[in-house]
């Protein structure tokens, strides 16, 4: 782990607001078949030079750029349980003066997803993720502290659009963090459409809310829209490319960026 010395309080606050809106692909309702594995490695690179104030208006802010690489590893333990593991790596560069740069090995999330009910192509599941506390560079201490997330997910995979297969996957989650904004609520509906035999289009809305945040007139919130395409490369490999952008918020950062990912199923 490395960081430029003399990290300012501004950068500490900046990392906090930056990290709030970023959620690696650790959520989903569907379970894997027993003995099956799925690995999704994604990198998100984002930039920002504005933020939403407490009235939801965009105002100028010092520019920053952030990169997070996360790997979601899923294993089908049995018909009703899928095990989850997700390590992450983070880096930041913030406009000065003085300019700040920091790199962290990130965090490690452990958890599992359980089947509650399933019928035909529909499923209702429950997921628990725990973030192990990690020692890191000072600017990342907030993001890398302990966190527990509970998620109720619903998925349906037998939909059709223009004669091609589609699915929906949505969830409601609540997280408790060891930070000033301790409670998080997330709603993250995803729509997937098999546009071609070997290509999948994904659209995700991610709404985040921090009720009871200290020192805030209104509860901080953020809405993000993410769109990507997943190309099947054969032999269980797929490649993902896409982008995301903030579509509204209160007391959070405006962000936009790109996504690249490599999927492997076996």
pLDDT tens per residue, range 166-218 = 999 999 999 987 666 788 999 999 999 999 889 999 999 999 998 877 767 78
pLDDT at 259 over 80: yes
In angstroms, rounded to a whole number, what is the distance separating the alpha carbons of residues 173 and 26?
12
In angstroms, rounded to a whole number, what is the distance separating the alpha carbons of residues 9 and 230?
40
Q: Tokens for 142?
A: 């907030």
What number of other Cβ atoms are within 10 A of residue 41's Cβ?
A: 17
The pTM assigned to this predicted structure is 0.84
pLDDT tens per residue, range 103-124 = 776 778 999 999 999 998 999 9
Q: Are 232 and 199 spatial neighbours (Cβ–Cβ below 8 Å)?
A: yes
Q: Are 108 and 147 spatial neighbours (Cβ–Cβ below 8 Å)?
A: no
Cα dist. 192→156, 168, 199 in Å? 10, 6, 10
Among 70, 59, 65, CA closest to 24: 70
pLDDT at 29 over 60: yes
CA quadruple 155, 157, 158, 159: dihedral sign: positive
Q: Tokens for 183?
A: 């409670």
User: Angle CA(12)–CA(18)–CA(24) in degrees, nearest 5?
Assistant: 125
List of domains in the chain? 2-265 (2.40.160.40)
In angstroms, rounded to a whole number, what is the distance separating the alpha carbons of residues 119 and 258?
36
């Amino acid at each position: 782990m490395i960081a430029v010395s003399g990290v300012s309080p501004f950068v500490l606050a900046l990392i906090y607001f930056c990290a709030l809106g970023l959620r690696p692909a650790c959520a989903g309702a569907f379970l894997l078949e027993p003995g099956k594995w799925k690995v999704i490695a994604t990198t998100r690179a984002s930039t920002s030079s504005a933020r939403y104030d407490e009235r939801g208006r965009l105002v100028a802010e010092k520019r920053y750029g952030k990169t997070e690489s996360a790997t979601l590893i899923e294993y089908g333990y049995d018909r009703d349980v899928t095990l989850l593991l997700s390590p992450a790596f983070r880096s930041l560069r913030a406009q000065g003066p003085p300019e700040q740069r920091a790199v962290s090995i990130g965090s490690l999330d452990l958890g599992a997803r359980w089947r509650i009910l399933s019928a035909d192509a529909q499923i209702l599941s429950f997921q628990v993720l725990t973030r192990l506390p990690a020692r890191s560079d000072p600017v990342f201490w907030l993001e890398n502290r302990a966190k527990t997330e509970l998620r109720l997910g619903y998925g349906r995979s037998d939909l059709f659009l223009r004669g091609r297969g589609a699915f929906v996957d949505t969830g409601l989650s609540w997280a408790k963090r060891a930070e000033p904004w301790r409670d998080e609520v997330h709603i993250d509906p995803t729509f997937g459409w098999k546009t071609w035999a070997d290509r999948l289009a994904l659209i995700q809305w991610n709404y985040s809310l921090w009720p009871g945040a200290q020192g805030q007139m209104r509860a901080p919130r953020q809405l993000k829209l993410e769109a990507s395409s997943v190309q099947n490369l054969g032999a269980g490999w797929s490649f993902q490319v896409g982008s995301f952008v903030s579509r509204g918020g209160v007391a959070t950062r405006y962000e936009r960026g790109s996504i690249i990912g490599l999927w492997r199923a076996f």
